[in-house]
Amino acid sequence: DQMLFEDDHTNRMVEALTLFEDICNNRWFEDTAMILFLNKRDLFAEKVPRKAINSVVHFTDYQGDPNDYDDGVAYFKSKFLACNQKDKDIYPHVTCATDTNNVEVVFKACKEIILKENLGNNGFMS
């Protein structure tokens, strides 16, 4: 339900979805796998019990429990993945940048993804 700082009429999540869709489907990234970071999970977890997701005009299609963190994460993850019109690999991670354990796990996963992509692109994996 937050608006952009520079434009108090544009929802931040809608802006993030629009931007991701533009980048994900850009011709320069056609053959590029993407790692999607859904950051600030701690703030989302605090907000969801107080503000029903489907009470926000842009997300009235939300069908999950209106105040459930896991349902909300699944919903927004699916919204971002639905932006993918090129059928590319997207690796989503729900993160909290201030949680060092989480950052470490995500960083290791990203290294594995990059290594796998590079090995595959160079004929070492099928």
pLDDT band at residue 15, thresholds of 50, 70 and 90?
A: very high
The tens digit of pLDDT for each residue in 94-109 reads 988 887 787 787 788 8
The tens digit of pLDDT for each residue in 26-80 reads 999 988 889 899 999 999 999 999 999 999 999 999 999 999 999 999 999 999 9
pLDDT of 2 reads 72
pTM higher than 0.95, yes or no?
no
The per-residue DSSP string of the chain comes to: -PBPSS-TTSBHHHHHHHHHHHHHT-GGGTT--EEEEE--HHHHHHHTTTS-GGGSGGGTT--S-TT-HHHHHHHHHHHHHTT--S---EEEEE--TT-HHHHHHHHHHHHHHHHHHHHHHTTS--
